[in-house]
Amino acid sequence: MNKAKASLIALFIGVASSISAQEVTSPKAHFGFDIGDDYMLANYKLMESYFLTVAKESNRVKIQEAGLTEEGRKQYLLIVSSPENLAKVEDYRKISQQLGRAEGLTEEQAKQLSKVGKPIVWIDGGMHSNETVGSHQLIETLYQLTSSQEEEIKNYLDKVVILMWHVNPDGQDLLADWYMQYEDKTKRNMAIPRLYHKYVGHDNNRDFFMFNMKEASNFAKVVYIDWLPQIIYNHHQTSPDGTVVAGPPYRDPFNHVFDPLVVTGIDGVGFSMIDRLHQEGKPGYVRMDQSGFSTWWNGGLRTAPYFHNMIGILTEITGNPTPSEIPLVAERQVPRNGLPFPVAPQAWNFKKSIDYSVSLNLAILDYASRNGDKLLYNFYKAGKNAIDRGNQDYWTNYSKYADQLKKNYDSDLKSGKVKVAENNSFYRSTIIPNSYYEDIYKNPKNRDARAYIISADQDDFGTAIKFVNALSKSGVYAYQATEAFEYGGVQYPKHSIIVKTNQAFRPQVIDMFEAQDHPHDVAYEGGPPIRPYDAAGWTLALQMGLQYDRVFEELNGPFQKLAPGDFIEPPSLTLPKSKFGYQINAKANDAFTLVNKLLKDGYKVFRDLESKDFYVEAKAAAPLKAYASKNALIIKPYPAKPKELKPVQSLKIGLYDQYGGSMPSGWVRWILEQYGYDYELFYPQDVDQNRIAKYDVLLFIGPGIPSTEATRASRMPAKDLVPDSLQYTLGAISVDQSIPVLKNYVEAGGKIITIGSSSELVYHFNLPVENPLMELNKEGKSVKLSNIKYYIPTSILKASLNPNLPENYGLKKEVNIVFNNSPVFKFKETKDLYSLGEITTEQSLLSGWAHGQHYLKGVSIGLVSNLGKGKLIAIGPEATNRAQSHGTFKMLFNQLYQ
For Zn ion, the binding residues (CB under 5 A) are: 128, 131, 236
Q: Which residue, 48 or 131, is less far from Zn ion as judged by CB?
A: 131
Pair 538, 516: CB distance under 8 Å:
yes
Residue 259's SS3 state is: coil
Q: For residues 890 and 882, give the distance between their C-alpha atoms in angstroms, rounded to a whole number.
A: 15
Read off the DSSP letter of residue 806. G
Give how far the C-alpha of residue 860 lies from the chain's centroid of Cα atoms, to the nearest Å.
28
C-beta of 200: minimal distance to Zn ion in Å? 13
Quick one: 257 or 535, whose CB is closer to Zn ion?
535
Amino acid at 863: L
Select 146 or 204, whichever has its Cβ closest to Zn ion.
Answer: 204
User: Between residues 119 and 305, which has the closer beta carbon with respect to Zn ion?
Assistant: 305
Evaluate the CA torsion angle 16, 55, 147, 120 in order and state its sign: negative
Q: In a 3-state reduction of DSSP, which class is residue 413?
A: helix
Nearest to Zn ion of 167, 277 (CB atom): 167
Do the Cβ atoms of 135 and 319 come closer than 8 Å? no
Q: How far is the CB of 41 from Zn ion (least distance, A)?
A: 16
- Minimum Å gap between C-beta 665 and Zn ion is 20
Shortest CA distance to 631 belongs to which of 594, 676, 606, 602? 594
3-state secondary structure 714-778: CCCCCHHHCCHHHHHHCCCCCCCCHHHHHHHHHHCCCEEEEEHHHHHHHHHCCCCEECCCEEECC
CA angle 218, 127, 216 (to 5 degrees): 25
Decide whether 206 or 308 has the Cβ nearer to Zn ion: 206
- Cβ proximity to Zn ion, 237 vs 480, nearer residue: 237
Find out whether 758 and 700 touch, Cβ atoms under 8 Å: yes
Q: Among residues 280, 272, 295, which one has the least CA distance to residue 369?
A: 272
Least distance between Zn ion and beta carbon 236 (Å): 3
Beta carbon of residue 127, minimum distance to Zn ion (angstroms, whole number):
6
Taking the complex as a whole, the smallest distance from the CB of residue 451 to Zn ion amounts, in Å, to: 37
Contact residues for 861 (Cβ-Cβ < 8 A; gap 6+):
799, 817, 822, 824, 825, 836, 837, 838, 839, 875, 876, 877
Residue 134 or residue 823: which is nearer to Zn ion going by CB? 134
- Considering the complex, state which of residue 236 and residue 798 has its C-beta at the smaller distance from Zn ion: 236
Cβ proximity to Zn ion, 196 vs 306, nearer residue: 196
* Of 196 and 285, CB closest to Zn ion: 196
Residues comprising the chain, all counted: 898
Minimum CB separation of residue 456 from Zn ion in Å reads 40
User: Cα 626–628–630 angle (5° rounding)?
Assistant: 85
Q: Closer CB to Zn ion, residue 220 or residue 301?
A: 301
Min. distance of Cβ 182 from Zn ion in angstroms?
Answer: 24
Q: How far is the CB of 112 from Zn ion (least distance, A)?
A: 40
Minimum distance between the CB of residue 300 and Zn ion, rounded to whole angstroms? 9
Distance, C-alpha 630 to centroid of its chain: 27
Least distance from C-beta 129 to Zn ion, angstroms? 9
From the list 143, 151, 156, the residue with the least C-alpha distance to 50 is 143
Cβ atoms of 615 and 606 closer than 8 Å: yes
CB of 521 to Zn ion, least distance (A): 23
The Cα 559–Cα 574 span in angstroms is 23
Q: How many CB atoms lie within 10 A of CB 8?
A: 12
